[in-house]
Amino acid sequence: MRASLRIAVAATLLLTAACSAAPAPPPAAPARVVGYFADWGVYARDYQVRDVADSGAAARLTHLVYAFGKVTDGRCTTSNAWTDHQKPVPAASSVDGVADTGPLRGTIGQLRELKERHPRLKVLWSFGGWTGSGGFAAASRDPDTFAASCHALLTDPRWAGVFDGIDIDWEYPNACGLACDTSGPDALARLLAALRSRFGPDAVVSAAVPGDVGKLDKAHYAAASVSVDWLSAMTYDYFGTGGGTGPTAVHSPLTAYPGIPRSTATAGSTVDKLLALGVPPGKILLGIGFYGRGWTGVTAPTPGTRGTGPAPGRFQAGLEDYRVLRDRCPPSGTAGGTAYAACGAEWWGYDTPETVKAKMGYARSRSLGGAFAWELSGDSATAELLTAMADGLR
């Protein structure tokens, strides 16, 4: 009995030691809070890099994405040299309060100042976009040359150290956007693999992907996800005013609701599709549009009726920023997890801090990697939507 007891005690001690030596599971990666900064916003919208800091957004962002660079002849190029690095920024618009005097000016110079003030903030340069995706077909035919050109541009000595990585916004690989692409289902994956190889493991590489579940069948997004830190699902613009009279519908529903024009045109359907394709949940970011889409000539306050055409917008008919709509046409209800508003003859659908926070709860429940905003100039002066995004992901 004594010998048996000693053996049992020894076995227990060995088991305890083995368990204590077993490595603890790695902690979950912090949620990514990503915001796009559009290069054209510094003009008519008068949204400067300084506003990212002054609004409080910079302190809440993990990554800021500068949009857009161009893809020309299969290579990364600047979109507008004057805006990017030549335009002198006066003291009143400068992050550091000092007028530009050095050789690096423009938005990239301001991004350098923003990073100096917020050293934990990562900055990416995005290439492509709705009107700038035509060059990706040529790039996909020689991914290595494309990747080398992008690396050379991002590490240009004039702004070395500003960019921590690259974002690809191809709308859409092997599918139709502004034009139709026939590069093949593997084109995006090969492009991203070349970028990862050229930029190395420590750089951030990301890509925007369509919200349309049909387009997600056209390319191998699981293969694409292998090379990236995340894929940004464009879970907005499911419905808009391109059809003229409607029916009215919130453009960024999380779930289907009675009367929705297409039941699969929801953020939830997009996430389900990406997961079904094999994309890891931690590599999916949920997209939030910081703007609304609306109609005029509408006689019913709830979604599903018709108007006479797009509602007036400052820069585009049928589209307006949250910062304007919150006061001009306050929300009166929700549909599919997104707010809608009826004011006079106008009807708008847009996200609010309350619906954004609820959507972040959904992102957490699906173990997604975080969320991103398109784009920061649409937020209020105190970054209400971005704050709701960051707080909701905690």
Residue 275 · residue 357 · CB < 8 Å: no
Question: By C-alpha distance, which of 118, 131, 168, 161 is closest to 146?
Answer: 168
Residue 230 · residue 197 · CB < 8 Å: no
Catalytically annotated residue among 113, 171, 346, 384: 171
Query: Radius of gyration of the chain from Cα atoms?
Result: 23
**Which backbone phi and psi does 232 adopt, to 5 degrees?**
-95, 105
Q: Specify the DSSP element, H or E, that contains 47.
A: none
Task: Put residue 52 in one of left, alpha, beta given phi > 0 → left and psi -120 to 50 → alpha.
Answer: alpha
**Angle between helical axes of 353-365 and 267-277 (0-180°, round to 10):** 20
Q: What is the DSSP letter of 313?
A: -
The sign one gets for the Cα dihedral 373, 379, 381, 382 is negative
- For residue 82, what are the contacts with CB-CB under 8 A and spacing of at least 6? 106
Q: Give a three-class secondary structure readout of 319-343.
A: EEEHHHHHHHCCCCEEECCEEEEEE
**Which backbone phi and psi does 364 adopt, to 5 degrees?**
-65, -40
Mind giving me the DSSP string for 51-101? HHHHTSHHHH-SEEEEEEEEEETTEEE-S-HIIIIISPPPGGGSTTSS---
Burial 41-69 (b: 16+ CB within 10 A, else e): bbeebebbbbbbbebbbbbbbbbbbbbbb
Active-site residue, 320 included: no
Cis peptide upstream of residue 68 (ω within 30 degrees of 0): yes
Cis peptide upstream of residue 320 (ω within 30 degrees of 0): no
Q: What is the DSSP letter of 299?
A: -
Catalytic positions, please?
171
